[in-house]
């Protein structure tokens, strides 16, 4: 099948590469010339495990190419995927300008009946609107069919998720279009679930909102655990053993970040409001998440006192491990608050430093290793649970820091292990370990 993918951001590049890997001929279109050049040379502009390898493999086999030209990219396409961004407008609604632009560009370049597949996360009803835009702007003898095929990939494990996902959702009004998209996806060997267009659009938002709800719920339970002396790790495990609850997405921490949950929860609240439904539960989920990051800062202040002139290390800057994505990362408000409080902030991340420079205050000093970041610091915040941060020899804190105060926003270490070292250890939803050896 000849497939075109419009947009080579996260979703577009992973979609294009994965469809090429299962045997389709894929052309990815992006207006960014530099990006297209880089990708045609087999380099991925984003850090995502296995993406670059599969990109190179499929460029070499001739199954994959990148272009800036809609005309070249769409001339022989049987199916066109839209995978452009839907960022958040100031009021929380999804900004559809890139989707609408893509729709116009597609309409002017297609030469035959086309199935248009929406991969981008779009509010319910958008596929109908986009069909109208393309249909009206395209040549009058061309028929457009829309399919909503939301993606459920997580950054950092996107390729793995594509080949091992729980389901592929195909929403369509036209049975033939749905069956074409089913046959395109068949080689993934995953369960396929058919719905109408609007239900598929809603499945995406409802799934992200539900996962965000799980996270805010467990973070609220963690706050109560701290007050009553329970351990959130044990509580989450005990809850998760119930299959109706499930063990995943019950990890308490500094709240959810990234390009999806914050944006999609706000968009769903707006969508509900626009349809005269006050989505109180989801509003609370968002509120809890917004306060979660600052709670960690508050804990630091309570422990260390005045932060003026103190040197504080941040370990982990990306919004989660295995990505260089800094969007809505907890490190941003925490670094800002520390700098505003007069602290000297040093920071380390294995991958995200080049991106972090555009997001963190200019006063932040970046270091190349964990050790360099820890030297002579008064406290350290652990903000992303990278494997190398989880595997630190705990004696390192005492060896390098001026005072080993560890504020762990990701519960990276077992309390039992920590208690063997002279560390003052504050984590989420677990008792604080106070070492008498640490001067505060």
Q: H or E stretch including 366?
A: strand 365-366
Question: HEC string of 196-250?
Answer: CHHHHHHHHHHHHHHHHHHHHHHHHHHHHHHHHCCCHHHHHHHHHCCCCCCCCCC
Q: Does 151 bind ligand UGA (CB under 6 A)?
A: yes
Strands 25-29 and 192-195: unpaired
From 73, 257, 350, 409, residue interacting with ligand UGA (rule: CB under 6 A): 257
Q: Quick check: 36 and 67 in contact, CB under 8 A?
A: yes
Burial of 129 (0-12, 13-18, 19+ CB in 10 A): middle
From 299, 310, 320, 327, residue interacting with ligand UGA (rule: CB under 6 A): 320
The residue among 99, 77, 82 whose CA lies nearest residue 149 is: 82
Nearer to ligand UGA, 203 or 380 (CB): 203
Nearer to ligand UGA, 5 or 215 (CB): 215
In whole angstroms, what separates CA 59 from the centre of its chain? 26
From 154, 283, 295, 390, residue interacting with ligand UGA (rule: CB under 6 A): 154
From 120, 208, 337, 403, residue interacting with ligand UGA (rule: CB under 6 A): 208
Select from 125-133, 145-153, 334-342, 370-378 the region that touches ligand UGA (CB under 6 A): 145-153
Q: Does 405 bind ligand UGA (CB under 6 A)?
A: no
Nearer to ligand UGA, 25 or 320 (CB): 320
Residues 14-33 that bind ligand UGA (CB under 6 A): none
From 260, 313, 382, 394, residue interacting with ligand UGA (rule: CB under 6 A): 260
Shortest approach of ligand UGA to residue 47 CB, angstroms? 13
Residues 223-252 that bind ligand UGA (CB under 6 A): 249-251
Shortest approach of ligand UGA to residue 250 CB, angstroms? 6
Q: Is 260 a catalytic residue?
A: yes
Question: How many residues make contact with ligand UGA (CB under 6 A)?
Answer: 20
Nearer to ligand UGA, 52 or 328 (CB): 328
Q: What is the largest CA-CA distance in the chain?
A: 80
From 48, 105, 155, 408, residue interacting with ligand UGA (rule: CB under 6 A): 155
From 98, 297, 319, 348, residue interacting with ligand UGA (rule: CB under 6 A): 319
The residue among 92, 8, 15 whose CA lies nearest residue 46 is: 8
The residue among 38, 144, 21, 130 whose CA lies nearest residue 84 is: 130
Q: CA torsion 314→315→316→319, rounded to 10°?
A: -40
DSSP string, 325-363: --TT-THHHHHHHHHHTT-EEEEE-SS-HHHHTTTS-TT
d(CA 409, CA 332): 14
Active site residues: 260
Residues near ligand UGA (CB under 6 A): 121, 151-155, 208, 211, 215, 249-251, 253, 256-258, 260-261, 319-320
């Amino acid at each position: 099948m000849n497939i075109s993918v419009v947009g080579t951001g996260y979703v577009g590049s992973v979609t294009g590469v994965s469809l090429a890997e299962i045997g389709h001929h894929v052309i990815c279109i992006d207006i960014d010339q530099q990006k297209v050049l880089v990708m045609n040379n087999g380099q991925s502009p984003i850090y995502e495990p296995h993406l670059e390898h599969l990109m190179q493999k499929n460029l070499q086999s001739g199954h994959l190419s990148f272009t800036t030209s809609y005309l070249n990219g769409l001339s022989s396409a049987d199916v066109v995927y839209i995978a452009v961004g839907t960022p958040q407008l100031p009021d929380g609604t999804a900004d559809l300008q890139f989707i609408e632009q893509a729709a116009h560009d597609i309409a002017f370049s297609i030469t035959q009946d086309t199935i248009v597949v929406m991969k981008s996360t779009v509010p319910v009803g958008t596929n109908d609107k986009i069909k109208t835009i393309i249909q009206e702007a395209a040549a009058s003898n061309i028929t457009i069919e829309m399919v909503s095929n939301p993606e459920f990939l997580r950054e950092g494990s996107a390729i793995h998720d594509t080949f091992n996902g729980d389901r592929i959702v195909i929403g369509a009004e036209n049975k033939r279009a749905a069956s074409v998209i089913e046959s395109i996806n068949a080689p993934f060997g995953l369960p396929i679930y058919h719905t109408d267009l609007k239900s598929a659009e809603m499945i995406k938002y409802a799934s992200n909102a539900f996962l965000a709800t799980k996270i805010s719920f467990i973070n609220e339970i963690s706050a109560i655990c701290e007050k009553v002396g329970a351990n959130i790790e044990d509580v989450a495990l005990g809850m998760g053993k119930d299959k109706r609850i499930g063990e995943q997405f019950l990890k308490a921490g500094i709240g959810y970040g990234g390009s999806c949950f914050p944006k999609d929860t706000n968009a769903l609240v707006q969508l509900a409001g626009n349809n005269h439904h006050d989505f109180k539960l989801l509003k609370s989920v968002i509120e809890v998440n917004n306060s979660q990051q600052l709670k960690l800062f508050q804990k630091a202040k309570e422990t260390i006192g005045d932060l003026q002139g103190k040197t504080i290390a941040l370990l982990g800057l990306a919004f989660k491990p295995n990505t260089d994505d800094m969007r809505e990362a907890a490190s941003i408000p925490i670094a800002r608050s520390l700098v505003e409080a007069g602290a000297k902030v040093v920071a380390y991340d294995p991958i995200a430093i080049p991106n972090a420079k555009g997001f963190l205050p200019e006063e932040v000093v970046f270091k190349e290793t964990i050790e360099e970041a820890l030297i002579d610091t008064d406290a350290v915040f652990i903000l992303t649970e990278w494997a190398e941060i989880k595997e630190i020899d705990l004696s390192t804190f005492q060896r390098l820091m001026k005072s080993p105060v560890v504020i762990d926003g990701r519960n990276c270490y077992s309390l039992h292990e920590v208690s063997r070292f002279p560390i003052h250890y504050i984590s989420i939803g677990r008792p604080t370990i106070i070492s008498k050896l640490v001067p505060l």
